[in-house]
Amino acid sequence: MDTRLPPDGPPTTVAEFRERLAAVSDHLPRRLQACAVHVAANMDRIAVSTVAELAAKAGVAPSAFMRFCQIMGFSGFSEMQRLFRDSYARPWPDYTTRLDNLKLAGAGSASALVAEFVEAGHLSLEALAKSLDETALTEAVALLTKADCIHVVGTRRAFPVAAYLAYVLEKMSVSCSLHDLVRGSDNLDVLRPGDALLAISFAPYAPETLALVKAGRSAGLPVAAITDRAESPLARLATTVLCVPEVDFGAFRSLSATWALSLALAVAVGTDERRSLPQRS
Amino acid sequence: MDTRLPPDGPPTTVAEFRERLAAVSDHLPRRLQACAVHVAANMDRIAVSTVAELAAKAGVAPSAFMRFCQIMGFSGFSEMQRLFRDSYARPWPDYTTRLDNLKLAGAGSASALVAEFVEAGHLSLEALAKSLDETALTEAVALLTKADCIHVVGTRRAFPVAAYLAYVLEKMSVSCSLHDLVRGSDNLDVLRPGDALLAISFAPYAPETLALVKAGRSAGLPVAAITDRAESPLARLATTVLCVPEVDFGAFRSLSATWALSLALAVAVGTDERRSLPQRS
DNA sequence: TTGATTTTGGAATATTTATTCCAAATCGGC
DNA sequence: GCCGATTTGGAATAAATATTCCAAAATCAA
């Protein structure tokens, strides 16, 4: 093949490496393609593997893998590996081991539980970063920014989220109201044209929340929803849906990702400069 | 050389490795000691280095390092390295890049904010795992388990945490009451002998929370506290203190770590056998 | 000090691992 | 189906790396 652009040199950072990988990944013979795919999916193992291992797992001959390294701009595998070994700085001298130790304290012990929730939290955050729908997020921010008043609603385990959202929004001088459906201190009269709803609900979806959202919709208000699945009842009712893939530990939800997303949403709305412009639907 | 205890085999996990390292670190000749010290401080580099490199950085001859590996129970360096290479799991595939991309969306954009909060969350969780005081945690669980009724108290940004704690505890049939100081729907009469307090407060510490805790103490009730610094006003009043090193982004707190710790605490209390039946779906 | 014992460094060797090279296989246009 | 170009796998080679060994240095006990 015509490996043109013997481009000014090998990638010097992992980011560059990725770019190049993407740039080259198409129009590549079968075996080389296999290398590319496997490397993309297992980039982290490069630092700790041999050509033979990598080639085997990619299902190609070592020499093929070797060629792949050269196509990526390196003189050979060793040079490529050096890149990954150098940029290999991990926070786990203590950390991972510490988690292991905590867990070792015995299943069911409080320390072990903390370790489990910490892990669930990490996974959730990771999943959030991976699956975040930026378009939906932007829409949600726009929608809430335009609102005269944001009605925050959430019950049961979504209630703390709603409460914190309301707290943060208020702190940022965004007018909003927290609907506390549990206490019933709520009526629908407060929903006015120009307002917007921000609803949070997870399975099993609380009927009270859904009811309020329905009311909002039929009053013509836009609804931003934070929920757990794109097909949830809440999602069907909402104008814009933000999905949070929360990882459970046992029956308990870590909510870390929900927290991160919610805060970001609130801060984005609170700091948006367009916040006084007209233009409402 | 007296390498006694050719102990039943090489370490098979990083945790075992640490134990053994500690066990052997004293009474070791100078150069071997140097190896031990350097390895302890750079455990993560073992997976990606050669004997020569490691030996050089430790300031010893390669052969000395070799001996050190054997004293650790391995047949040689390669076997030791294999342990670290294998136990190197990946928090890394396309995740980091994804975060970078989100941030790239532009400072201040909602996506970038999500990325920031996700990172703050990760850091917080990590810090929690590192700094968790297991003794205090055990004490707190014991203290709360013995209580007839747990009074959960927290205001402002601690309120969502308090609310969720109360929710989870209730779900697990632990009798508790959420003190909603903001609404003032609270009086001190409900504190009875045999009860316990669970207080959450972060800087700047809400006077209402502190006041309630003081009242509890003078009524002789034990107090478990979740707070941000060991020297916080709340910490001084509490029987047992749990510190959560939360990482802020801007003026906003991610609360991920608080969440993990709180949940673990609640679940530990709820499933403790000294109480009535645990219930998890 | 002296001599027995342990520790050390470096040179010699064994092993693993990367890299090259070429003949066979595959592909694509005709 | 044939020919030229490209791609592939495996054997041969080169390089790096681990490992062993031993004589010299250091240590310690008398």
Instruction: Tell if the CB–CB gap between A163 and B160 is shorter than 8 Å.
Output: yes
A82 CA vs C26 C1’ separation (Å): 34
Task: Give the C-alpha separation, B129 to B162, whole Å.
Answer: 21
**Least confident segment among A129-133, A270-274, B255-259:** A270-274
Q: How far is CA B188 from CA B16, B144, B158, B227, B232, in A?
A: 51, 19, 20, 22, 23
Confidence of residue B98 (pLDDT cuts 50, 70, 90): low
Task: Give the C-alpha separation, A66 to A138, whole Å.
Answer: 44
Quote the pLDDT of residue A6. Answer: 47
Q: Are B163 and B178 in contact (CB under 8 A)?
A: yes
Establish if A61 touches chain B: CB-CB under 8 angstroms. Answer: no
Give yes or no for residue A275 having a pLDDT over 70: no
| Residue whose C-alpha is closest to residue B170's, from B151, B186, B156 | B151
Q: What is the DSSP string of B115-166?
A: HHHHHHHHHHHHHHHHH--HHHHHHHHHHHHH-SSEEEE--GGGHHHHHHHH
Taking one residue from A and the other from B, the number of pairs with CB-CB distance under 8 angstroms is 218
Taking the whole predicted model, whether its pTM rises above 0.85 is answered as no
Closest Cα in chain B, distance from residue A105 (Å): 9
Task: Give the C-alpha separation, B92 to A18, whole Å.
Answer: 13
Quote the pLDDT of residue A170. Answer: 86
B65 CA vs D17 C1’ separation (Å): 14
What are the pLDDT digits (tens) for B229-272? 888 888 888 899 998 877 776 667 778 888 889 888 888 888 76
**Least confident segment among A184-188, B89-93, B108-112, B162-166:** A184-188
Give the percent of chain B with pLDDT over 70: 81
The residue that leads in pLDDT, B65 or B19, is B65
Question: Over the range B233-247, which residues count as b (16 or more CB within 10 Å of their CB) and which as e?
Answer: bbbebbbbbbbbbbb
Q: Rounded mean pLDDT of A94-103?
A: 60
Burial (CB < 10 A; 0-12, 13-18, 19+), residue A170, is middle
Task: Give the C-alpha separation, B225 to B124, whole Å.
Answer: 18
The residue that leads in pLDDT, A82 or A182, is A82
Give yes or no for residue A2 having a pLDDT over 50: no
Rounded to the nearest integer, the mean pLDDT of chain A is 80
Q: How far is CA B89 from CA A47, A147, B83, in A?
A: 12, 46, 12
Q: Are A216 and A151 in contact (CB under 8 A)?
A: yes
Q: Rounded mean pLDDT of A222-249?
A: 86
Q: Rounded mean pLDDT of B74-98?
A: 77
